[in-house]
């Protein structure tokens, strides 16, 4: 039995990031935080890439469910933002979320394949 249960660490990190992403997406954005025009989309991609990677590492047998759940989660965040007076929902943000999910899942699956290949050689 390993000394450290990495799945538990990944799951705790995933849960923490789920909450952090929601909070970050719901608070008002102070003026002047944008450095370049598509920064918001990059932030969405990176946030959901991290969520997908942690989710797939925490539940490797459920990568498809993680991907579908995070895609819905991104959509729900956009709906929640549209219900506030200080944020707005954006379908392109949701597409950026979905792109991040696809990249994150793809990277974890690639990692698993490479590890399996190393074990067989």
Closest CA to 43 of 74, 64, 69: 74
Instruction: Kindly state whether residue 61 falls inside one of the protein's structural domains.
Output: yes
95 lies in which domain range?
Answer: 38-120
Would residue 31 count as lying in a domain? Answer: no
32: Cβ–Cβ under 8 A, 6 or more apart, which residues? none
What tokens does 18 get?
A: 């789920």
44-68: pLDDT as tens digits: 999 999 999 999 999 999 999 999 9
Query: Which residues are CB-neighbours of 103 under 8 A, at least 6 positions away?
Result: 45, 49, 52
Q: Is residue 65 part of a domain?
A: yes
Q: Is residue 22 part of a domain?
A: no
| pLDDT > 80? residue 39 | yes
In a domain, 54, yes or no: yes
Cβ atoms within 10 Å of 105's Cβ, excluding its own: 20
pLDDT tens profile 61-104: 999 999 999 999 999 999 999 999 999 999 999 999 999 999 99
Which among 18, 15, 16, 29 is positioned nearest to 84, based on CA atoms?
29
pLDDT of 35 over the 80 cut: no
Tally the domains of the chain.
1
Are 74 and 92 contacting, i.e. CB atoms less than 8 angstroms apart? no
> Could you tell me the two tokens for 85?
């007076």
């Amino acid at each position: 039995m390993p000394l450290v249960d990495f799945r538990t660490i990944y799951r705790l990190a995933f849960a923490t990031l789920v909450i952090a992403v929601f909070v970050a997406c719901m608070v008002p954005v102070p003026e002047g935080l944008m450095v370049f025009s598509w920064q918001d989309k990059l932030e969405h991609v990176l946030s959901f890439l991290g969520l997908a990677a942690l989710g797939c590492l925490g539940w490797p047998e459920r990568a498809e469910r993680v991907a579908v759940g995070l895609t819905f989660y991104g959509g729900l965040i956009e709906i929640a933002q549209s219900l506030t007076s200080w944020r707005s929902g954006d379908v392109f943000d949701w597409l950026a979320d979905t792109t991040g999910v696809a990249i994150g899942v793809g990277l974890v699956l690639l990692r698993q394949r490479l590890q399996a290949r190393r074990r067989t050689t």
